[in-house]
Amino acid sequence: MIAGNWKMYRGPDPRALREALGDLPHVVAPPFTRLSDCVAAGLTTYAQNVHWESEGAFTGEVSSPMLQELGVTGAIVGHSERRQYFGETDLGVARRAHAALQAGLGVIACVGETGEQRESGDTETVLRVQVESIGDLCGTHENLVIAYEPVWAIGTGKTATPEMAQEAHAFIKSLLDVPVLYGGSAKPENAHELLSQPAVDGALVGGASLDIESFVAICRIHS
């Protein structure tokens, strides 16, 4: 799976992107305001977040049934920016993932360590807590994918070496037997080396997914 996370950017024209992708497998996760446009263009469309309840007094949230009504087929949960800026917890991320899976959505659940945690030698401890909290509620669900995104590589231009990615992915898979994507400044220039690692099953692409040519190039490398 190659998934493009548009974050809080309007992103490229969905129809132009769909035409450029051709038959290449892909996922795009645009802001909520562009979900319908992406679905209408025929793109495989995920939301950037989803709540664990199907409805209720949860201002600013969106539920699985609401997403499905639009034709959205999955959701990202637990992105490091959600954890860092909006206080999302391991338990909350697991609950979001579980509810979405139960509703029939695909889920990309994000995990990863900060630069400080890596430098202090706590990477595996952090990953174990995050992954096991998801695994305890969701198990090895067929529609669950984990995205390993070292927080120190998100939007910084820094990228984990292929060896670092392989080590982290292999560790995650030892805890939960599901596909694992790499997220963290993935771009055409480094995608081939990262995606060639045996434990790397795809990528969650940030900035490069906003450029049609770059995103298509990464999808083509993986295919």
CA 28/CA 19 separation, integer angstroms: 14
Does residue 141 carry a catalytic annotation? Answer: no
What three-state secondary structure class fits 197? Answer: coil
Active-site hit among 51, 79, 98, 141: 79
Contact status, residue 44 vs residue 28, Cβ threshold 8 Å: yes
Does residue 149 carry a catalytic annotation? Answer: yes
CA 97/CA 76 separation, integer angstroms: 8
Which regions of the chain does DSSP assign to beta strands (E)?
Answer: 2-5, 27-29, 46-47, 74-77, 106-111, 144-148, 180-183, 203-205
Active-site hit among 81, 141, 149, 169: 149
What three-state secondary structure class fits 57? Answer: coil
CA 164/CA 123 separation, integer angstroms: 11
Contact status, residue 54 vs residue 63, Cβ threshold 8 Å: yes
* Residues involved in catalysis: 79, 149
